[in-house]
Amino acid sequence: MELVVEPYSRREVEYPAMAEAHAASSLVSPEHVRELWGMPPSPATPEIQGKLFPLSCPPAEDLPQDTIEEVILRRGSSRRFRRSPISYQQLSIMLDRAARPIPADFIERSEATLNQIYLIANGVDDLPSGSYVYRRDLGALEQLIEGDFRERAGRLNLGQELAADASVNIYFLTDLNAVLQRYGNRGYRMAQMEASITAGRLYLAAYAQKLGATGLTFFDDEVTEFFSPHAEGKSVMFLLAMGRSGRRG
């Protein structure tokens, strides 16, 4: 389609590497599309090493009752967080409702996901501060390291105060080597899309509970190193900071 659009700027700046990456991961034929259906890679799941914290979800009748339209209208991006804790039940609701498989052809009829969720909990009642990995198969958080990582979270996320002040930082990491081996260059887009859709669900789950959230940037390798050895060899796709929104002074 030839659509007439209003340009964002007076002149266009070309970035050849971006165009090359887009072309290298584009679909080229119907056969190519069919090759990508189903059968996602099976990531290795390390044995449980840390303490498990089962999710604490209330009955369905006690969940937030706002309509999706009401939540979407309220949803935004927090520009400041108060260092006030959220409840473990609130975090549990967000993970349970948001971190389910997405309806995508590349994981069709599969409970598999391309990303694994890692967390830095800084202010969650009834959950010790520290680093965690979400075990969706068990409906629980596995503790990796207990400790106060507020300032570390800020440094990992390009020195941003939002990350240090947030109650929890949620990272999506994928085994990019396995994904690319299965799907080719298109796999990077798939992992990014899955992480982004899940993060979008988390966004809505946060605002449904009158909490705040915002997407942030990060130092890729440093994040992987922080969650290693559990996350060794994985790549970061997305980061979402969540907590109680604060007012600007």
For 11, the token pair is: 């002149």
As to burial, measured by CB atoms within 10 angstroms (0-12 exposed, 13-18 middle, 19+ buried), residue 229 is: exposed
Tokens of 163: 């990350």
The rounded distance, in Å, linking the Cα atoms of 200 and 77 is 11
Neighbouring residues of 241: CB distance < 8 A, sequence distance ≥ 6: 78, 81, 157, 162, 163, 166, 168, 169, 170, 213, 214, 215, 216
What sections of 4-87 are H helices per DSSP?
16-24, 30-35, 68-74
pLDDT of residue 12: 83
Between the ranges 9-18, 61-70, 197-206, where is the mean pLDDT highest? 197-206
User: How large is the C-alpha radius of gyration of the chain?
Assistant: 19
Tens digit of each residue's pLDDT (9 = 90 or more) over 75-92: 888 888 999 999 999 999
User: What rounded mean pLDDT belongs to the chain?
Assistant: 91
pLDDT of residue 210: 93
Indicate the helix (H) or strand (E) that contains 162.
helix 161-165
Q: Dump pLDDT digits (tens) for 34-68.
A: 888 878 887 777 888 899 999 999 888 888 888 88
> Which residue in the block uniquely carries the two structure tokens 């440094």?
155
Predicted confidence band at 205 (pLDDT cuts at 50, 70, 90)? very high
Residues 6+ apart with CB under 8 A from 58: 89, 93
- 47: how many CB neighbours lie within 10 A of its CB? 4
List, in order, residues 6 or more apart from 101 with CB less than 8 Å away: 107, 110, 111, 112, 113
Percent of the chain whose pLDDT exceeds 90: 65
Global pTM value: 0.90
Give pLDDT, residue 40.
83
pLDDT band, residue 109 (cuts 50/70/90): low
149 Cβ contact list (under 8 Å, min separation 6):
120, 122, 129, 130, 131
Residue 211 CB partners (closer than 8 Å, separation 6+): 86, 90, 242, 243, 244, 245
Q: Is 103 left (phi over 0), alpha (psi -120 to 50) or beta?
A: beta
Question: What is the rounded distance in angstroms from the CA atom of residue 207 to the CA atom of residue 212?
Answer: 6
Instruction: For domain 30-36+49-245, give the CATH number.
Output: 3.40.109.10
Residue 249 has pLDDT above 60, yes or no: no
Report the distance separating Cα 225 and Cα 131, nearest Å. Answer: 12
